[in-house]
């Protein structure tokens, strides 16, 4: 808020209220600082691996330009800040899982379309110690793709880790998307459009994921899940 200082030494006509002088402008750079703080919440945890950062950036630029979208337009469609989109395209920031999902939905492509590096076809061994992972902003939710990043696909397989007392809020996926998830370790509460399901080790849940859904770990131990994501062939 601007502050105003009254100068009582100036002449006043007919008992008028003293003239307001010295309007002090807002702090320089305050707006820029607020914008920076906003998009930094879209950046993955600082300990997150960065081996996917350039792949996602290149795919984002290619898919965006192919559709004739400016960064401003894609920002409005996806709900991801323009600053963050620019950082991702330049390979300077690793986006959170939720940000990648938002971008994929806005571009009407599978998640794998943004993380694929179009490697050669054929048998591929996916070493655990070389796995490419995406994380949440707080680092408590981690997703590892259990499929080669060779091309976009309609069925995807993931390994998910949710730390003790961790929560991951997921935005709706494209219409017709289905999640089939099984808990292999720990306990997980999944809310689907407000409806809650408590899954113990060995329990599985299948649901339409084109609505808001939340993963929550209510226990004091980490949980491990496996997820099969299926996209509708008729989705735009």
The reply to whether 160 and 217 lie within a common domain is yes
Are 158 and 109 in the same domain? no
Of 127, 113, 87, 65, the C-alpha closest to 229 is 113
Q: 4 lies in a domain?
A: no
pLDDT band at residue 187 using 50, 70 and 90 as cut-offs: very high
Q: Could you write out the three-class secondary structure of the chain?
A: CCEEEECCCCCCCCCCCCCEEEEECCCCCHHHHHHHHHHHCCECCCCCCCCCHHHHHHHHHHHHHHCCCCHHHHHHHHCCCHHHHHHHHCCCCCECHHHHHHHHHHHCCCCHHHHCCCCCCCCCCCCHHHCCEEECCCCCEEEEECCCCCCCCCEEEEEEEECCCCEEEECCCCCCCEEEEEEEECCEEEEECCEEEEECCCCEEEEECCCCEEEECCCCCCEEEEEEEECCCCCC
Higher-confidence position of 99 and 40: 99
Same domain, 107 and 56: yes
User: Which of 64, 98, 115 lies at the terminal end of a domain, its last residue?
Assistant: 115
Whether 110 is in a domain gets the answer yes
- The answer on pLDDT for 191 being more than 50 is yes
Q: In the β-sheet with 195-199, what is the strand arrangement from edge to edge?
A: 167-170, 213-216, 188-192, 195-199
100 shares its domain with 158: no
- Domain contains 33: no
How high does pLDDT run on average in the chain? 79
57 found inside a domain:
yes
Among candidate residues 90, 115, 140, the one where a domain is terminated? 115
What's the pTM value of the predicted model, to 2 decimals? 0.60
Planar angle of CA 133, 137, 142, nearest 5 degrees:
30
203 in a structural domain: yes
Q: Is the pLDDT assigned to residue 21 strictly greater than 80? A: no
pLDDT in tens, 23-53: 344 444 544 444 444 444 445 445 544 567 8
Domain final residue pick, 115, 134, 165: 115
- Residue 111 shares a structural domain with residue 159: no
Q: What is the CATH number of the domain that holds 74?
A: 1.10.260.40
Residue 132 maps to a domain:
no
Domain that includes residue 100, residue range: 41-115
Mean pLDDT over 82-86 rounds to: 92
Residues 101 and 160 in one domain: no
pLDDT at 151: 62
List pLDDT tens digits, range 128-178.
877 778 888 889 999 988 876 556 678 889 999 999 999 999 988 888 999
Q: Provide the domain count of the chain.
A: 2
Question: What does residue 197 show for φ and ψ, rounded to 5 degrees?
Answer: -135, 125
Is residue 148, in this structure, part of any structural domain at all? no
- Asked if residues 107 and 67 have their Cβ atoms less than 8 Å apart, the reply is yes
Q: Report the pLDDT averaged over residues 94-102.
A: 87
Indicate if 100 and 167 belong to the same structural domain.
Answer: no
Q: How confident is the model at residue 96 (pLDDT cuts 50, 70, 90)?
A: confident
The answer to whether residue 136 is domain-embedded is no
Domain with residue 191: its CATH number is 2.60.120.10
């Amino acid at each position: 808020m601007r502050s105003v200082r009254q100068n009582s030494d100036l002449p006043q006509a007919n008992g008028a209220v003293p003239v307001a002088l010295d309007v002090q402008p807002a702090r320089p750079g305050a707006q820029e600082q607020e914008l920076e703080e906003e998009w930094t919440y879209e950046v993955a945890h600082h300990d997150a691996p960065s081996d996917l950062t350039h792949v996602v950036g290149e795919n984002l630029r290619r898919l965006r330009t192919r559709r004739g979208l400016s960064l401003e337009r894609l920002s409005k469609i996806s709900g991801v800040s323009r600053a963050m989109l620019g950082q991702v395209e330049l390979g300077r920031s690793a986006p959170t899982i939720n940000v990648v999902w938002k971008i994929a939905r806005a571009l009407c492509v599978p998640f794998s379309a943004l993380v694929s590096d179009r490697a050669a076809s054929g048998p591929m061994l996916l070493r655990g110690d070389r796995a490419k992972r995406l994380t949440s902003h707080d680092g408590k939710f981690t997703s590892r793709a259990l499929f080669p990043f060779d091309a976009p696909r309609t069925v995807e397989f993931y390994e998910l880790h949710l730390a003790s007392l961790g929560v991951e809020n997921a935005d709706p996926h494209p219409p017709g998307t289905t999640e089939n998830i099984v808990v292999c370790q720990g306990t997980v509460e999944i809310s689907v459009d407000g409806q809650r399901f408590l899954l113990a080790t060995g329990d599985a849940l299948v649901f339409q994921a084109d609505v808001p859904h939340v993963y929550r770990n209510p226990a004091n131990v980490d949980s491990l899940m496996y997820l099969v994501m299926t996209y509708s062939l008729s989705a735009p």
